[in-house]
Every structure is written in structure tokens, then in C-alpha cells.
Chain A
């Protein structure tokens, strides 16, 4: 590790301004993460226009990382209180978080979730700090040929793991590359596919594309649900005062450690996000636990496993992004977009040319994870109330902010027209069952890939066979093919598992609801029965429902064993 750089970076990280950004980012992340239907990606996109005027690009990235970290924890708040995961990465948290909340131990569940989130986040941030320099040194011999191959690897992996059909994902990725090609070619100055239009002449900026593809599509989806359901909100469990005890903290430490370690390895592999890691970690911790039968009934280890894993992915997903310039999932793809908007190209050169900035970002990630604990402790109760805010208040604000943010990309109305056009395209693609994520990644990666492609071609006198003749490049391309094939298989299995588990969970919770109705009915009928006796019946019914419903989940989880 380069301690001189780290010291310089520490001075830059611990400014009042950056600390305030981390606090703000964590809070915004928690709020956005805990609202079901609003993802961490939306939070990061909303931050982009805010960071436009920031002088230090590292501060901008730190703010977004804080939103990412806060969002990953925020997702668990609604998973526990409402049984609806705020983000996809918090699905496994509902398995144990919700049953524990139904037993009246909401605070305990939230405390475990916060502790595990902080543990996982810190674990992976430290790993990022330790590994970054090592990986950078290992790849320091890379030339533009290898970087181009890495770009192909990034886009192929995302295409390979998103959606069920590889041809559709490839079409999406290629559409993204093509859309980024539109406008003036930076090398030859030739106009490409502008069709004589002023809107297309200067190309499509990434910001309106990100806003339309991710943020606006999410809001439209959620508003549609609101319109169809009439805006009904589920009742949230009230937060009690009985928090986590010392011995309980000790008991979940092994689960946190195991889950963080597995998630860190998985998260560092491009194409695996928090959504996938949580199931693998939950399953592994359950398998090796002394009390596997308690999982799914409000087991603290279960919550710890799920929450450590999704926060551990934050730091480890930054490893390939910072060292190789390859984003691991949708969120890191957005972060790569943010890097580019601020004129930074992540990769090994970042550690040599902008080393202090690279370490400032890593330290910022570490500090955000440290601050998550006190902020979570102090503000979870307040943040949980946001779940009960009517969605229409938020939706209008988000849409206005999105369009204003898109306009800020160049200060020209063409950005607004492009945003609307990409929104329509995105909807058509959704109807055709084509995933948007590869498209977005293609758009973000194209300028980098084309830059390396041009330099490599010019250096080797337009000998395009160089991409398969240079050994490292060839190895990268071979690894790409092997990984895409194997990841597709894993992905298919995990997707099937997710769907089954979610279905099992829905059935289980429905049963829980009907059991409660039965208990309520019996309460009315036997009003004269002793109150304590009644409670015990309710508890018994609740427990019984859990025991009867659990085998489904166990069977499904077993399928995930590697």
C-alpha cells in the first residue's frame, strides 16, 4: 500500500464538507432505500445533477457511495417493518426480519440489520483498500489492447447475466453502444447517424439516458401500481424499544463474518450484485449454523447473513470498477457513468495518475460505512415513517428533479427531448422483454472502449488481429467466453430460486395474515376468555403457521447449493 498517498487522501477525506456529504448521502440513501419501488440506482441518479458543480470529483463520488451504502441498509427497514423489501438486495432480509417483527421485536431486527450492514460494509471497504493497489500492480502491463478486451468482458458479462435470453441481452448492449456512437465522432470528426437532426448532432449524453432508462421508468411503474391499487399502503409494524443485547451481538458475529467474506468475493466478480449474493450467503450461513431450524422464524443470524452480504457487495463491487474500469452491476455501471461525467477514467492509471483521488474515494467508502452505524441508530425511527408517505408526493418531486437534472447535462432543451424519447424506447424494450441494464452499460462503456480501440488500432497500424494475437488480451477474451457461459448457468439457477422463494414467502405471509384474522375472530367470540390465555393461542397459531410453511423455503434454499 502507498501510505503517502493514503495519508494525503485521509486529509482530503476528513474535510467538514466531505463529512457533511457522507451524512447527507447516508440519510438520503436510507430514505430512498426504504421506500419500496425506489432503488439505490434511482438515489444515485438523483444525486448526479447535484454533483455537477462540485469542484472535487472525489467528493461527488463519495456522496454517491454514501447513498449506495445508506440505500443498502435502508432496504432492510421496509423489509422488516412492512415485509416489502425496499430494494432487491433486501429480499432475504424479509425471511427472518419480518417474522421477528411480527413477534413484536422490530427494534431488535433493525439493530441486527444495522450492525450486520455496518460489519459487511466495513469488511469489504477494508478489502477494497488492501486489494486495490495489488490488482493495479498486477495489471500495470496492460495496454489499450487489453483495456479494449476488458471493455468487451464488462459488457459481455452484464449481458450474460441479465435476463433469460443472451441474444436479447446482447441486442440491448449493442443498442447501447450504437446509441453512444450517435453524433460527432471524437477522432475523425465525422457525424454518425444524426439524420440531419439538431437533437442528435452532438450525440446522446449519458445523464438523460440514465435518468430515462432507470429513474423515470421506475417512477412510471410505481405510479401505475398506485393508480391501479388506489394508493393503499400496508400497515407497518411499530418500532418498540427492545434493542439488541451484548450476547446477541456476539452470537451473530460469525454469521456476519462468513456472509461478508462470501459476498465480498462474489461482489468482486463482474456481473454479480447484492441481489444474487444475499441468497448464497443466507443459504451458506443457514447450512453451517448450529440452529438451522430457526432460520425463517425470526432468527438473528438470518438477518445478519442477508444484511452483511448486501452491504459487503458495495465495497467489493468497487474493486473491479476502480482497478480495471469494469462495472460489476447496474449500480457500479452508474458510478462509472458518474466517474466519466466528472472526467475520471477508472482503471490502473487512476492509481498512478490520480492516486490521491482513488484513495480518497476508497477512504470515503470506509468512512461512510463507519458513520452508517450511529446515523442508523439515531435516524432509523424517523426514516421508517417515510414508508407511510403517499407515493404521489414523492413521484412528482422525483419526475421534476429528473427532468431538471437531465436539462442540466448541457443546459439545452434537446436533453429533455432525448429523455422523453429514451423513456418511450425503454418502455417498448420492456414490453419486448429486453432488459435495459446492458443498454445503459453499453452507452457508458462505449466512449472508453472506442478510445482504447482507436489507440490500439493506431499503435498497431490498423491490424485488428492484434486483439487476439496479444496473449493477455486473448486470455481476457477466452475468460470472457468461459465466464459468460458459466455465469448464465448460475444466473438461471439463482433466478429460478429467487422466483420460487418469493412465491413461497408470499404464500407464507398470506397464511400468516389469515391466521391473524382467525385469531381476531376468536378474540371477538370469546371476549370473556382470560387475556393471557388468548395471547398464548395467538402465539401458538403464529408459530404453527411458521413451522408448517417453512419446509417450502428450506427446499428452495437447498437448490442453491453450489
Chain B
């Protein structure tokens, strides 16, 4: 399955909607301080950024619709599926680290990743799990960063 994406038009619309929404919620999300300390308003920098995004989005839409200047990216599902799946697996990895700890989450996630990538020899699986334990101890014992232990007792 291949989809042609008019990137100028699509990004223009998406970013215009995003910046419009962010500007709309600004009064609620960025409150003005109760007393004046002489500092500039905390809304200035985000406000400038959002207005520039909005202007650029409008420029992109005009470029696409009126001047027919477009950059078309072909979204080939066969090509993108592995990337999307891998990103999804990494999101699940984060969930697993929080729930069951770094070592177990790594063991489960990378077994799936390696299998998906077509690895069938057992050594690479053992190596990766050993590496997960190694990195866990490197961070906890050497760098003193307590990675989530989860279900494991150490």
C-alpha cells in the first residue's frame, strides 16, 4: 500500500491547527503572575513561537494550494511498517520498564525485536540478555543511577 503525502499541505494544516489550539488555550495554560516583578511576561516567548509556526503554516498552505509548490513523500506501508512496529515496541518497552523493571523489560522486548529482525541463533539472545544485566549494573553500581529494578530483588 502506497500513499502519496502532500507534505507542505498536510504539515501546514496540522501545524496551523496545533498552533491555533495552543494560542487558544494560552490564557489557561500560561497564567500571568499575580504580582509584577519587572520581568517580561512568561507568554512572550511561547507566543512568538506559536505565531511564527502559524505564519509558516499559512505560508506552506498557500505555497501548496496557490503556487502548487509541493514536496510529495510516498508513504510505502511495506517500508514504514517495520519502523512503526519498532517504535511501538519501544513504547511498550518503556511501559514494561516502569512495571517490571529494566532487566526483565529488556529481556522480553529485545527477544521480540531480535525475533522480528529474523535472528534465530540462540547466542545473540543470550548475549543481549547478558548485556541488559551488564548495563543495569553499570548504571546502578558505577554511575549510581537507580534504574527501575521492578520485580527483581537486586
Contacts and interface: CB of A to CB of B under 8 A. Distances in A.
Bound pair (A, B): yes
Interface of A: 49-50, 52-53, 164-165, 167-168, 170-171, 174-175, 177-178, 181, 185, 187-195, 216, 220-221, 223-224, 226-228, 230-231, 390, 392-393, 395-397, 399-401, 403-404, 407-408, 411, 413, 416-417, 419-420, 423-424, 427, 431-434, 446, 449-450, 453-454, 457-458, 461-462, 464
A50 B102 CA distance: 18
Given A396-B131, A404-B147, A408-B143, A432 B31 contact: no
A192 B29 contact: yes
A453 B47 CA distance: 14
Contacts of B116: 227
A392 B7 contact: no
Given A165-B8, A396-B114, A432-B14, A187 B87 contact: no
A400 B131 contact: yes
Contacts of A230: 118
Interface residues of B, number: 69
Interface string B53-72: 10011011001000000010
Given A224-B83, A227-B117, A424-B87, A407 B147 contact: yes
B91 A49 contact: no
A185 B86 CA distance: 35
Contacts of B110: 396, 399-400
Interface in B107-131: 110, 113-114, 116-119, 124, 127-128, 131
A414 to B, nearest CB: 10
22 contacts: A49-B145, A174-B49, A174-B52, A178-B49, A178-B53, A192-B29, A192-B42, A194-B29, A195-B29, A220-B90, A223-B86, A223-B117, A393-B124, A396-B113, A404-B139, A407-B148, A431-B73, A431-B75, A433-B71, A453-B45, A458-B39, A462-B40
Contacts of A400: 106, 110, 131-132, 135
A430 to B, nearest CB: 9
A345 to B, nearest CB: 18
B27 to A, nearest CB: 12
Contacts of A454: 39-40
A399 B90 contact: yes
Interface of B: 5, 7-8, 10-11, 14-15, 22, 29-33, 37-40, 42, 44-46, 49-50, 52-53, 56-57, 59-60, 63, 71, 73, 75, 79-80, 82-84, 86-87, 90-91, 93-94, 97-98, 102, 106, 110, 113-114, 116-119, 124, 127-128, 131-132, 135-136, 139, 143-148
B87 to A, nearest CB: 6
- The interface residues of chain A, by DSSP majority, are classed as helix
B94 A417 contact: yes
B40 to A, nearest CB: 4
A53 B143 contact: yes
B29 A177 contact: no
Nearest to B78: A228
Closest 6 CB pairs of A and B: A167-B56, A433-B7, A432-B11, A457-B40, A174-B49, A185-B42
Given A400-B132, A403-B93, A188 B49 contact: no
Nearest to A461: B38
B60 A167 contact: yes
Nearest to B143: A53
A486 B41 CA distance: 35
Contact of A190 (B42, B60, B118): B42
Given A167-B63, A419-B94, A228 B82 contact: yes
A189 B33 contact: yes
Contacts of B56: 167-168, 170-171, 174
Given A404-B147, A431-B5, 4 more contacts: A52-B145, A168-B56, A396-B131, A404-B102
Contacts of B146: 411
Nearest to B146: A411
Task: Name the residue among A195, A392, A396, A432 with the largest chain B CB count within 10 angstroms.
Answer: A396
Contacts of B14: 432
Given A221-B83, A390-B124, A432-B5, A188 B42 contact: yes
Given A187-B39, A220-B86, A396-B114, A416 B97 contact: yes
Contact of A432 (B10, B53, B139): B10
